[in-house]
Amino acid sequence: MALVGAAWFRARRLFWSSVIRRTLFEWQSIAYGDDPEQIPSWAADRLAAVARKSPLGGDNGARIIAHGRNALRAQQVVGIIVADKCALEILPKIDLSSGDDEAQEGLIRRKLVHMLAVAMDLDIDGGAITELGWQRDNLLEILIRLFSTKLVDALRQGMPRQYVEHEEDVPRMRGRLDVGRQFAQLAMNPVMLACRFDELSADITINQIMKAAINRLRRISNSTDNQRRLAELDFHYADIAAVPAHALRWDRVSLDRTNARWKELLALARLLLGERFQTTSMGETSGFSLLFEMNTLFEEYIGRMMRRALSGTGLSVHLQGGRLYCLEAIEDGRRSFQTKPDILVKRGREIVHIVDTKWKRIAARIDDAKRGVSQSDVYQMMAYAQIYGCRTLTLLYPHHTALRSAPGLLDRHKIGVTTQHLHTASIDISRHQMVLRQLRSMLLTPGLSDDLEHHLWESRSG
């Protein structure tokens, strides 16, 4: 058996050694063709075909990768696309201060995983972070390593079990008698008793979810370490029913004090099984994708970090809240054009600040007086100001070195003849420990919001 397992690992390693693997950043291109420095045309076609299968891809997968005549160009969706004998990793473009290309790729993977952890409410401790192969592995293998390592640790404390009701015909009384079944089905066989009883079982939904994740990851991982760990986990789950991913009953999982430690594993399993942020496509096109839309991820990351930054101030942060309508018909009161501001900051029921996040590089003033802020974004924020009666609104962008200034408030503008203000600001997400401080500083900047500033200083002094 050991020899068969070793042969399987060798065969898999040989297969993946022949796979074409590349890493790109957002908006970066990779040429394809017959040149040795290019990827083959067949690889470009297969990767584009998998991208077309993703709901994030839009028409022809063009929101993920644009399939040009001579090159593939990454867009604003990051993650990994794997097709037959080729794999493409797309990383977000985050400015870092130093390091060679390989080191920077590793740091960006680390930052991306941190953003995912915040967005998914995962607590990734320092030990788990340190042990992940940031420079050696792609994003998929890092997430698989994180999931499998955490699962091994959780199993050391025991597999979850719960009492499950069984119905069985047995010669001796067990539990309670099912009178209806006894007289309807076993009337002619009085030596058997129709019993119902509860039995402590590990074959429950939470374990079926873990097994489904293990089975999927074993098919797609090309890391020898990950494969060994997954094989060990598969052995532990040998007696658990294999339920297809689409048939898993997530609604039946109940977390309490006895199994609360499985919360993060469930979130990771949901991610890797395609329940959140990602899609997996198999069938006509042999391949799969694990993808994240950066606008959505940036918004949720900032929103959740803002909740932490304002903790204890008496202010609350709401993501995708509001949902007020722009128009209401005079004749019948029918409303239309619903609004969904990214982030609302409230004091009680009063909205004191509206923040819209934009995952794009804002320009330096020396290059563009408007800093590349789109007219439609300004009109949208003006509509928010009118509909929500909010005095302070901010367009928040990721910081980058070309701005030649510190992250924070960039520009302040008065909206028309009102007392409302629209500001543009940037935040440096390359250093996690600084994000909370930057968000607090942004909200406490003199003049950014007089009401908000006064309340925050009052809360701190109190």
Domain carrying residue 422: 310-461
Average pLDDT (31-56) is 89
**Beta bridge partners of residue 351, listed in sequence order:** 346
* pLDDT on residue 42: 92
Residue 3 maps to a domain = no
> For residue 10, what pLDDT band results from cuts at 50, 70 and 90?
low
Residues 6+ apart with CB under 8 A from 228: 9
- Furthest-apart CA pair in the chain: how many Å? 93
* pLDDT on residue 124: 67
Residues 6+ apart with CB under 8 A from 214: 148, 151, 230, 233, 234, 237
Residue 64 and residue 34 in one domain = yes
Average pLDDT (436-460) is 60
**Tens digits of residue pLDDT in 422-439:** 999 999 988 777 898 888
Residue 271 and residue 126 in one domain = yes
* pLDDT on residue 457: 45
Residue 108 maps to a domain = no
Q: Does pLDDT of 185 surpass 80?
A: no
Residue 50 and residue 175 in one domain = no
Angle between helices 139-155 and 101-119 (to 10 degrees): 50
Alpha-carbon Rg of the chain, whole angstroms?
27
Residue 271 and residue 214 in one domain = yes
Task: Assign 15 to helix, strand or coil.
Answer: helix
Q: Does pLDDT of 302 surpass 90?
A: yes
Helices (H) and strands (E) in the chain, counts: 13, 18
Average pLDDT (227-245) is 92
Please tell me which residue, 135 or 154, carries the higher pLDDT value. 154
> For residue 16, what pLDDT band results from cuts at 50, 70 and 90?
very low
* pLDDT on residue 461: 45
Q: Which of 178, 201, 224 is the last residue of a domain?
A: 201
Residue 242 and residue 344 in one domain = no
Residue 315 and residue 281 in one domain = no
Residue 11 maps to a domain = no
Average pLDDT (36-46) is 90
Quote the strand ranges of 244-334, DSSP E: 287-293, 316-319, 325-328
Q: 7-16, 158-167, 391-400: which range is least confident on average?
A: 7-16
Structure tokens at 426: 């940037």
Residue 259 and residue 283 in one domain = no
Query: How remote is the C-alpha of 216 from its chain's centroid?
Result: 18
Residue 12 maps to a domain = no
What is the C-alpha to C-alpha distance for residues 70 and 41, in angstroms, rounded to an integer? 9
Average pLDDT (34-62) is 86
Residues 6+ apart with CB under 8 A from 266: 206, 209, 253, 255
**Beta bridge partners of residue 80, listed in sequence order:** 89, 290
Q: Which of 140, 173, 201 is the last residue of a domain?
A: 201
Q: Which of 292, 324, 354 is the last residue of a domain?
A: 292
**Tens digits of residue pLDDT in 330-340:** 888 788 888 88
Residue 332 maps to a domain = yes
Ordered strands of the 20-25 beta sheet: 20-25, 86-91, 77-83, 287-293
* pLDDT on residue 456: 47
Residue 362 and residue 441 in one domain = yes
Angle between helices 294-309 and 432-444 (to 10 degrees): 70
Task: Assign 425 to helix, strand or coil.
Answer: strand
Residue 269 and residue 366 in one domain = no
* pLDDT on residue 294: 92
Residue 55 maps to a domain = yes
Q: Number of folded domains in the chain?
A: 4
Query: What's the chain's average pLDDT?
Result: 82
DSSP characters for 254-277? Answer: ---TTTGGGHHHHHHHHHHTTSSS
> For residue 280, what pLDDT band results from cuts at 50, 70 and 90?
very low
Q: Does pLDDT of 448 surpass 70?
A: no
Query: How remote is the C-alpha of 443 from its chain's centroid?
Result: 26
What one-character DSSP code corresponds to residue 364?
P
Residue 318 and residue 267 in one domain = no
> What is the percent of the chain where pLDDT is above 70?
85
Residues 6+ apart with CB under 8 A from 172: 193
Residues 6+ apart with CB under 8 A from 403: 362, 364, 410, 426
Residue 177 maps to a domain = yes
Average pLDDT (206-227) is 90
Please tell me which residue, 250 or 453, carries the higher pLDDT value. 250
* pLDDT on residue 120: 83
* pLDDT on residue 125: 54
In angstroms, how far is the first alpha carbon of the chain from the final one? 68
Residue 433 and residue 347 in one domain = yes
Q: 8-17, 228-237, 248-257: which range is least confident on average?
A: 8-17
Structure tokens at 317: 């942060």
> For residue 311, what pLDDT band results from cuts at 50, 70 and 90?
confident
* pLDDT on residue 41: 93
> For residue 283, what pLDDT band results from cuts at 50, 70 and 90?
very low
Residue 300 maps to a domain = no
Residue 367 and residue 435 in one domain = yes
* Amino acid at the residue 56: L
